[in-house]
Every structure is written in structure tokens, then in C-alpha cells.
Structure 1
Amino acid sequence: MALDLLFHGAAGCVTGSCAELSGPGFRVLVDCGMFQGSKTLKALNYAPFPFDPRGIDAVLLTHAHIDHSGLLPKLMKAGFSGPVYATAGTRDLCRIMLADAGGIQESEVRHLNRRNQRRGREMVEPIYTEADARRVMDQFVKVRLGDAVQVLPGLEAIWWEAGHILGGASVEVQAEGGEGPVRLLFSGDLGPGGRDYMPDPEGPAGVDHLILESTYGDRERPRVTPEDRRTLLAEELKAAHAAGGPLLIPAFAVERSQELLADIMTIMDEGQAPEGDIFLDSPMASEVTEVFRQRGWNRATGVNPFTCLHGAGRLKFTPDPADSDRLEQLRGWHIVMAASGMCDAGRIRRHLKRLLWNREATVLITGYQAVGTLGRLLVDGARRVRIQGEDFGVRARIRSIEVYSGHADSAGLVSWAQARGPVRGSIFLDHGEPPALEGLARRLAEAGQVREQVIIPQVDQAYRLSPAGAVAGPAPPPRIAPGLAAAPDWHNARAQLILDLNERLEDMPPEAREALIRRIGELVAGAKET
């Protein structure tokens, strides 16, 4: 039996990481993540898996971020009963994050079903529940960085430091194929290196095939020291304070929230920015912060920079919904940090609904924003947005800084890939939008890689692997149309149309307004007939 590699997610887009590796006597997944972004892309989370979960022997998990781990409970519900191999840090974070994701799905489905009931539409079910998420944790098996793990006969794996988040790793796999053993390295998400919070990414050299993330494959960021980073953040804090209102930070609950909190505490302690109360309005981020306080030692420095993050003094946790509700009563200078980082779920949407119209408020975006997300719309300069079916004008100051990215930029990705060489077979680029994928392919070619060696797979594309090369199999029926995986969809277009229409109608005289509404009605009626 030959060795086959299939890309079921994070192909042509950033999210939904899931690769299937099958060979003589084994079928394993590397990651099983949730799609995020446009509603068209997120709909794949509800669809059946493109493989039989009962036939999967094991999952090799790179890290805990939901776009890498978020469909594990669904996989279990569909019949997967094998082990999930992960580092201790990844296991501890998944215990919190998956339960939170299940709870959010239950809450949002309840909200949606109330609306569906009023509209006479069918009821929907959550992808999985909080109870499902807790059950799948029984299948986790802890691994240590650098240890060779015999996953199955003919399949061995080693986890390497990825420098991305606590517990995050690249996974080296040695698999028996029809033409002998093949060494693959799945990068997972790679950190930028040079951070005081995380070690630099590592990995073996001389692999046969490299599967490389490409999130920032088309751009280079300025190199900044930890001191430079805190100086930039201090300037944003001072400007937000001068604007007269609160600072709202949409932040990913894992790693980004903890890094920002540690820096803000340091900045205020050193007098670089005005002091003020800091509210971490995310139950999950609060739980994760405790994991960082216990496990956040940087092996490279021997220091845990997160020990200061306890709920005392100016840092305050708001675990209960009532605590979150009381934040609406606050006025003047304070900081609220809430998930999700792309503004598409969780408590951040409620804060945006109450603050986006306020010219004195500031919204600071600190992480990657996928196409089609509310965060991406704000970063791209939208002046009106729709949140949960309501229209909001954007008058708050929208700011963005990239110095907190947990991903390597194009120079870092190329450097890390070169250190893994010589790569005998192919370099597969995943986990990136088309411009980033093409940009990284060019940069790898400029660095000496043969262009034909670099492959950009599409969703569900399969490749037959030998130690020296890869051959694409027949193209499967697409689960999502080419080009839509990383593009705004009709839901985004509809929302923008409604915003534009409402604004236009408000500015029209009554006669013109009525004429436009009649014309639109005629177009809709004509569309129904066709």
C-alpha cells in the first residue's frame, strides 16, 4: 500500500487545519480544526467529514488553537475512538478551549433557534456540546518534546518546539510507504522567534517532505525587541487615554491575551502609560491565564513572565455574565479585553455593539483577521457593519498593531524551511490565503528551492508520496468552490448591500425612497419567478 497525504482543511485558506496521512495499516490525522471566516467556509464545520472517522487510528495534534483542534469533539461523536497525541500544554489548553467552544455553540444555537422559531424555520443542532468536549479529553495521550512516539506499527512521530503558543509543536512523522520509509514534517503554526515569552521554533533537518504554514508568507514585519514592542503598545495606550474613552481589545483567549496583559501591567508599573483598570472579560481567557501562570516557563530564558497575572489590583476577571454586564456602566478610561480575536463570537461582539458608535472609544486589533470576519472589516476601514442582524456606524478609533503576532513572517518561514533542508521531495504550503501562499512560493524559489518542488494544495486534494516526490491524485468534488475558501461570500455582500441600502434610503426624499423600494420589490419578484 502506498503512502497518501490529503489536505482536508487550511488549504487555500488559513483555518480548518486537518491533514490525513494513510499508509500500510494506518490512517491518522494531523490536527482536526474548525473553519473560521465567512459563513460559507464555516458551513463546512456542520457538514459530514470527507472521510470515515471510524477508520481514523489516531490524531497527532500540533497545538490547541481552535482552527487546529476545534472539531475533535465532532470527530469523537462521529465514531473516532483512537488516541489524540499532544503535549501537556496543548492538553491542558484544549480541556478549557474545547469546552468553551462547545458552550458557545450551545448558547448561539439557542439564540438562533429562537429567531428560527419566530421565522418558521427549522431548528438546528450545535456541532457539539460542552459535554462532548469534556468527553473527548479522555482520549488525549501526553507526549514530550523530542521523544519518539510509536503511534502505530509503521508510524513514528516526534514533537518539536514551534515557538507559537504554550505547548505548540511541529510534528515529525516517519511512515512506512510502498517505496520505503518517508520522513514528513508538519510545521503546525510557527512563532516568529526572538520573543521573551516563547522559545524559538526548532525542527529536524533533511526531511523528505515539508508541510509549511504560510499565514504571513507574503509580508515581512519590522524586527522589534520586547522593549520596542512595549513602547509601541504604550503609545497606543496613551492615545486611547487621550481620546477620552475606553480601550477595547479583541484578543485571542490563548497566548495573545496573556502576552498583552503582561505587557500592559509592565507598562503601567513603569509609568509609560496612564494607570487604569484592566478587565479580562473572557471566562476562558481567565482559565487559560491560570495555565500560563503554572506552565508558562520559557525554556530559553528560565523565566515565567506570566506570574504577575493574578486577579488583584488593577487586573480584574469577569467570569460571570453579570460581571460582564456591569462593564456597560463604566465611563472614562479603562481597558476591556475580550474574545474572540476576530470579533466573530463571544463577549467581544456585545462590547463592540455598545462602543463602535462612540468617537471617544478605541478598538485595538492585535492579531490576524481572516477574510469575511468582522475584525477584517474593521481593519479594512468599514464605516458601517452588521452585528447579529443589527446595523452599527463605526465612529470609534480603529487601530491595529502587528508586533504581537504569534506567527513567523515570510523571512522567518523561509529561514526555518531552509534549516530543515535539504528537502528531498516536496514542500506543501498550507494555512494561508492565496496572496500569502503565492508570496511564500516566490520567496522559497528565490532562496534556492525548485519552484516545481513547492505545491499549493486545495481542499481535499490528495497526493501519493514517495521519498523523493509527490504525485497529485484525481481532483475530488469540491466541498467549497475554488476561490471561496479565502474570499468574502454572499453573506458579506448581503450585509454590505443592506448597510448601503439603509444609508441611501435615509438620505432620499420620500418619493424617491418609495420608488426605489418598489423597484427592488420588482427585482425580487422577478428573481423568484426565474
Structure 2
Amino acid sequence: MATITCYGAAQEVTGSCHLLHTDNLSILFDCGLHQGGRVRRHLEADPFKFNPAAIDAVVLSHAHLDHSGRLPALVHEGFNGPIYCTHATAQLLPVMLHDAFSLYQSDLKRLNRKHQRQGKPLISERYSYEDIQTVLTLCKPKAFKEPFTINKHINVTLFDAGHILGSAITKATFTERGASKTLVYSGDLGKHDTLLMNDPQVLEHADVVMMEGTYGDRDHRDLTDTLSQFKSILNEAYQRKGNALLPAFAVGRTQELLLYLGKLQHSGELDDWTIFLDSPMAIEVTRIYDQWLTTLDCEGMESLSDGDATLLKNFISSLHLTIEPEHSMAINNIRNRALIIAGSGMCTGGRITHHIRHRIWDKRNTIIFVGYQAQGTPGRALVDGVKSIRLFGEDLQVNASVETLGGFSAHAGQQELVNWLANFKPKPRVLLVHGEADALDVLSEQIWQQLDICSEIPFPGQMLAF
């Protein structure tokens, strides 16, 4: 009998990792980092609860680190099978993994210096640069809607999930003991009617649907209202002669933000802001997005450009790209009306933490969160209204305004999730993952009320047979 075991993103939002075991194969859907603290904490503390060498293949839904970040550790511990993903995900993956490794090494060096001073044993790396290179050689890119077979036992097709560039819904069909079974794993589903991404594709048949529920307890604000709120927040910050800080994920959120800002500028509603994209990683990722613009929705972009503009070229006249560290530090000398987009999106590291350190104490400034903030992150603490926050060993007063724009989320809201699920006929068995427990409980109740489906919420490590 086939089983699915949820080793991550079970009653939590990050660390996606789900193992499908059949009579013939063991396939891992995603292999992601837990986020909510420094990357190295989880790499040190969380050994795999299965044998990586026994996994036949990985199907990767998309490149975000909470879905891909542990692939090098998986390889280091014996995995040597194919990693299936879309072509765009294969392009984004080296950027994500190399950046994460750099942060991991820095954290590990810092921790080992502390261990040396305390006479504790040093901690060795859980994986190496060579393991990252192996991950990249194992990638087998596939196009959307292009069926492929894994070891002649399971047929898989990837569909556009509309979350970020290359994000995929996975449909896996196999025969076991004479019966055909189909599992659909949603990955992260995007919102409808965004300016950049396509709507998530609709599927209609599955025996089991494993669906995310990040925002299972709420619907997002209408995009028109969100843009109006964004404009109002920026205008207030501008009138206060302050600066605006936008913590943003390098993949997905940054590119959407650039499109929204371009829309405001071209309608004369952006005021006289100087915009800084202060993230080498986000700049590199946006160049990859620019290669794929013709496959994306890009609603309204043609009317805002001369036809050959990209997100980084001739689209926002006041956009400055800062790559070198000294250029990033120079932004701190700008006293007002600098709009700074930088990572990380949850303020767990990266250049945004330096900007927050220099600006958070000043009531003229504004911090604008445009994405989900996981529990335990500085971003979540700020959204929850803390009066002081500790960064770089220093307690900082939170005097800056803190705003949240939920309408810019790259995840489907509650009703969009229910509507996507409603397309499956007959009613499938439903497993809810990738969401905090309370949000999944609310989503489960809505699914019962609207679709008459009793969904299940697996706990970490739970094995479910089907």
C-alpha cells in the first residue's frame, strides 16, 4: 500500500518535505529548510528522519529555500537520483543554493569562533560546495504539461502553480496491486489576477490532493485596494521626509514589487522617491525573470513601456541597482525619500537588517512588509508590534511605522484555495500542509462547509496510507 509521510511543512509553513513510498519507488516532494531562525541552526540540529540513499527521485515544486534548501545535505548523505523540476526552477536553483551556502558558512564561522572561546568542539559543515554542484547536475528540467516517467513505474506531470517563476503543481499517477492511484501535490499556489504571474492551473482528478494552506485563515485584500494602500503609505512616509524599507524575498516578491512600483510611477503616483534594489541576489534573479517575461502574465506592462523594456531596463526611471557592499552602505547617508528593497524577506539576515538597524529608531521612517512572516523571525516580531528588537547584539527601539500589505502575497488566499480544490471530481481525499496549525484548522472547516470534504491535517512525521 502506498504511503505519504510529511517530514516538514506539517502544521508549519516552512521546511517542505513529503515522502511518497509505493511498492516500487520512494519519491521525495521537496526538500526544504525550516525558516524562522538562522539557516545553520536547522542544518545542525535536524538530521533526516529517513535514509537519503534510499530515495529514488525528488520532484521539486519550486526554488524557494523552504522547498529546496536541504537538497545539498540530502546529496551529502547519499542521495544520487534525479531531481525533476521546471526549466525556470533549474535556472533559479544555483542562485538560491549558493546564496544560502554563503550565509551558512558565515554563520558557522561565527558560531565556531564562539565555541573556540568557550572550549567547545567545533561544528563541521553539513554539506559542501561540491554537494551543491552535484545537486545541479542531478536536475532534470521538464516543461509544464510534459508527462514523464520515473523508473517506468510512476507518471508525473508538472502544471503552472502561479506562485513564482517556475513553480509547479505535481500530478503523480502510478499502479499498485492492479489499481491506478493519482496524487496531486499543490506546492505553493499563487493568487489569481496578479500583475506578473499566471493564474494557477486547474486540475480535475486525483485520489489524494496534498494542498498548501499558508493563508487558509484569511482572504487577501483586493489588488486595487492594496495598490491604493501602498500609495497612501508611501505618500505619508514621503510627507514625513522619511525613508521606506521593504524587506522582500529575492525570488517572486521583488519582481512583483518592481512591477507595482512601475505602475505607480507611470501613473504619476510615486512621488519623487529614489528606489534602490539593494540585493545582488534579487538583481540576478530578476535578470532570469526578464528572460521568461513572454511566458508570464505581465498584465499592463506593455502599456507602461516602449515594448522592449524589462523589469530592470527602462521601466522605472528612478531605479538604482546596488551590488557592491560599499554602495549598499552609502544608502545609509541618504536622509530621506529613499525607498529600499532588500532581503531577507523575514529580516533573518541580509542587507535589510543593516538598513533596519540604521533606520528603525527614527519615527519618520516606515517599514513595509509585503510577504508572510514566519513565527520566530524578526519580521514576525515587528508585525506583531514589539517595541524593541535585538539586532547585531544591540537592542533597538522600534519608532518607525510598521505596515503590512497582505494583498501582495504570492500565495492563494482562503477562498482561492477552496475554489481550486472544488474543481476535483469526484471528491478527493485532502491533506492540508504548509500552514500553521490554526490556519489549517480554519481552512479545514471552510472546506467542510463549502465542499462537504473532511480534510486531514498531518502532524510532523505522520505516515498516511492510501
Q: TM-score, normalised by structure 2?
A: 0.93
Q: Distance in 2 between matches of 1:105 and 1:139?
A: 22
The equivalent residue for 1:408 is 412
Matched, 1:250 2:253: no
Superposed CA offset, 1:291-345 (max 9, x none): 1111133455688777142388521222222222222222211111111111112
Report % sequence identity. 35
RMSD: 2.1
Does 1:169 pair with 2:173? no
| Stretches of structure 2 lacking an aligned partner (at least 5 in a row) | 303-308
Cα contact 1:170–1:203 (8 A) shared by 2 = no
C-alpha distance in 2, partners of 1:22/1:379? 40
The 5 A counterparts of 1:209-224 are: 209-224=208-223
**TM-score (structure 1 length as normaliser):** 0.82
Q: 1:338: which partner in 2?
A: 342
Q: Which residue of 2 aligns with 1:6?
A: 5
Structure 2 residue 270 is the aligned partner of structure 1 residue 291: no
Distance 1:153 1:175 in 2: 9
Deviations 1:11-34 (A, max 9, x none): 010000011011122111011111
Superposition map of 1:248-327 within 5 A: 248-300=245-297, 307-310=310-313, 313-327=317-331
Deviation, structure 1 residue 270: 2.5
Taking the aligned partners of 2:85 and 2:66, their CA distance within structure 1 comes to 15
Q: Secondary structure at the residue paired with 1:447?
A: helix
Please state how far the C-alpha of 1:243 moved relative to its aligned partner: 2.0
Q: Is the 8 A contact 1:13 1:433 kept in 2?
A: yes
Q: Is the 8 A contact 1:364 1:401 kept in 2?
A: yes
> d(CA) in 1 for partners of 2:79 and 2:238?
51
The aligned runs of 1:79-478 (5 Å cut-off) are 79-178=78-177, 180-225=179-224, 228-300=225-297, 307-310=310-313, 313-424=317-428, 426-451=429-454, 454-465=455-466
Over residues 27-62 of structure 1, what are the superposed CA-to-partner deviations in whole Å (9 max), with x where a residue is unaligned? 110111110125799536642211111111110111
Deviations 1:409-456 (A, max 9, x none): 1100000001123234x20000000111100100000013232xx111
Q: 1:399 to 1:49 in 2, by over 3 A?
A: same
2:459 aligned partner, one-letter code:
Q
Q: Gapped runs of 5+ residues in structure 1?
A: 466-530
Q: Which runs of 4+ in 1 moved over 6 A?
A: 301-306
Distance 2:110 2:12 in 1: 29
C-alpha distance in 2 between matches for 1:235 and 1:295: 32
Query: Shift of the alpha carbon at 1:103?
Result: 1.1
Q: Please give the secondary structure, in 2, of the residue aligned with 1:450.
A: coil
After superposition, give the CA deviation of every residue in 1:343-383 in whole Å (9 maximum; x if it has no partner): 11212111111111111211111110011111000000000
1:461 partner amino acid: Q
Q: Is the 8 A contact 1:198 1:298 kept in 2?
A: no
| Alignment deviations for residues 197-255 of structure 1 (CA, whole Å, 9 cap, x no partner) | 11111132121000010001111223334xx4433322121111122221111001111
Q: Provide the rounded CA distance (Å) in 2 between the counterparts of 1:240 and 1:436.
A: 32
User: Counterpart amino acid of 2:351?
Assistant: R
Q: Distance between the aligned counterparts of 1:434 and 1:221, measured in 2?
A: 19
Report the counterpart of residue 74 of structure 2 in structure 1: 75
Distance 1:218 1:96, change over 3 A: same
**Can you list the C-alpha shifts for 1:470-524, whole angstroms capped at 9, x where unaligned?**
xxxxxxxxxxxxxxxxxxxxxxxxxxxxxxxxxxxxxxxxxxxxxxxxxxxxxxx
Question: Does the 8 A contact of 1:192 with 1:406 survive in 2?
Answer: yes
Q: 2:147, 2:369 → 1: CA distance?
A: 39
SS in structure 1 opposite 2:47?
A: coil
Q: 1:232 to 1:386 in 2, by over 3 A?
A: same
Contact 2:196 2:297 in 1 (8 A): no
Contact preservation (8 Å) 2:360, 2:397? yes
**Residue of structure 2 equivalent to 1:498:** none
Residues 64 and 90 of structure 1 are in contact (CA less than 8 Å); yes or no, is this contact kept in structure 2? Answer: yes
C-alpha distance 327-128 of structure 1, shift in aligned 2 (>3 A): farther
Measured after TM superposition, the shift of residue 120 of structure 1 is: 3.4
Instruction: Please give the alpha-carbon distance, in whole angstroms, between the structure 2 residues aligned to 1:444 and 1:15.
Output: 22
